[in-house]
Chain A
Amino acid sequence: DTGVSQNPRHKITKRGQNVTFRCDPISEHNRLYWYRQTLGQGPEFLTYFQNEAQLEKSRLLSDRFSAERPKGSFSTLEIQRTEQGDSAMYLCASSLGTGFTEAFFGQGTRLTVV
């Protein structure tokens, strides 16, 4: 499968714990995006990387959230001190190029904070 891969697919954690999600974009895609989606809502943009540089961050991305993309390949999204409000689907997408190209989304990681 050469699509966007996200791991794990599901994560249940206790409030206050740290969690880390991984996204493997389509090979050679230089752009990578993270979104969050709560039940019944459309996805909300969190952050964007072009190669290894994090170029945009949403105001939704609080200090407890951090994203990295070392070497411009895979990316990780870490949430520290999780809260129940962090429960959501976390989606990763990638695209190629400098102008507009379509974004390809992964299937997401569903986080449940109990």
Chain B
Amino acid sequence: DAKTTQPNSMESNEEEPVHLPCNHSTISGTDYIHWYRQLPSQGPEYVIHGLTSNVNNRMASLAIAEDRKSSTLILHRATLRDAAVYYCILRKGGLGAGNMLTFGGGTRLMVKP
């Protein structure tokens, strides 16, 4: 299975943009890139996903490199409530693909006031 690599932790100042990187050099053509985050004492929460093109939603933006070997989750204005562990996950697409998410260690984002 393709693997993702993320920094263990990052710090950000409140109200500043945050760029969370993820490397996935062994990604296959049918792998979708998903991001979930887990706030303290909560279950994971879906953030965004994409395949090839950059994606935007109300929570964040996802920038995918042209070769798809890396991606970046962008939080446009970090708030204290964004302090969480952010997981970059590859999920197989296509018929017969598995439905489980394979979480790695994630990046712990700390937001300073």
Contacts and interface: CB of A to CB of B under 8 A. Distances in A.
Interface of A: 4, 31, 33, 35, 41-45, 48, 50, 55-56, 58, 91, 93, 100, 102-108
B43 A56 contact: no
Contact of B99 (A41, A48, A104, A105): A48
B91 interface: yes
What are the 5 A-B residue pairs with the smallest beta carbon separation, nearest first?
A105-B43, A42-B103, A45-B100, A102-B46, A43-B103
A35 B99 CA distance: 12
Contacts, number: 52
Contact of A105 (B44, B93, B100, B106): B44
Interface residues on B, range: 20 to 34
A4 B43 contact: yes
Nearest to A58: B100
B43 A91 contact: yes
Contact of A103 (B41, B101, B106): B101
B46 A104 contact: yes
